[in-house]
Structures are given as structure tokens and as C-alpha cells.
Amino acid sequence: DIQMTQSPASLSASLEEIVTITCQASQDIGNWLAWYQQKPGKSPQLLIYGATSLADGVPSRFSGSRSGTQYSLKISRLQVEDIGIYYCLQAYSAPLTFGSGTKLEIK
């Protein structure tokens, strides 16, 4: 199975700050990587797919990037509504696997 090592596990940042979350894949997954946001008590929502493509309706302050087998999600100017838990998902091969999550809070 492909392991997705996500960091940090938790993050506290100030409003308008730049936030970066990373996922390291245990093997090559190409661009088969998505990012999800889960707000408290809600279902996960797709933010980024194909490592860098913004999902419909997602604010442009969210962006994804790739460097080899390391993937990053960047929030350019943190807003209050961005609090929640963020997960990466590798969709390269079954079993599909998620990162362990990053809990994002406002400082």
C-alpha cells in the first residue's frame, strides 16, 4: 500500500498568514493527489485535484504544488473559515490512501 505521510499534525496560524501543509508519498504517484478540507461536524470537501487543479468554487487563495513525491497545499491568506482538518488523498493505485490529517486553527 502507498503511505502518505502528512505534516504537520496540527498548525496554529494568524489571520492573513501563509500556511503550508505537506504530504510525502512512499512511492511515485505522479499527479494523482487531492486535498480535502473537513470542517467540524461536516463531510470532507474537495479543494485540489491532480495535485495542482483547483476544484469548482474553491477560493483562489488555495493552491497545490508538487516536487517529486512531496505535495503541498498552500493557503495564501488564512481566513477564519479555513479552520478545520486537511487531508491528502493518493488516487494513483488501490487501496486509495489518505494522509493522517492536519488540524488547522487560528492563533
Partner 1 sequence: EVKLQQSGDELVRPGASVKMSCKASGYTFTDYAMHWVKQSPGQGLEWIGTIIPLIDTTSYNQKFKGKATLTADKSSNTAYMELSRLTSEDSAVYYCARDDQRYFDYWGQGVMVTVSS
Task: Check residue 44 for interaction with partner 1 (CB under 8 A).
Answer: yes
* Whole-number Å distance between alpha carbons of 18 and 85: 16
49 in contact with partner 1 (CB under 8 A)? yes
72 binds partner 1 (CB under 8 A): no
Return the C-alpha cell found at 31.
499527479
Stretch that binds partner 1, among 16-24, 59-67, 69-77, 87-95 (CB under 8 A): 87-95
Residue 12 CB partners (closer than 8 Å, separation 6+): 104, 105, 106, 107
Give the Cα separation of 40 and 89 in Å (integer).
19
If binding is defined by CB under 8 A, does position 68 make contact with partner 1? no
Applying CB under 8 A, which residues contact partner 1?
32, 34, 36, 43-46, 49, 55, 87, 89, 91, 94-101
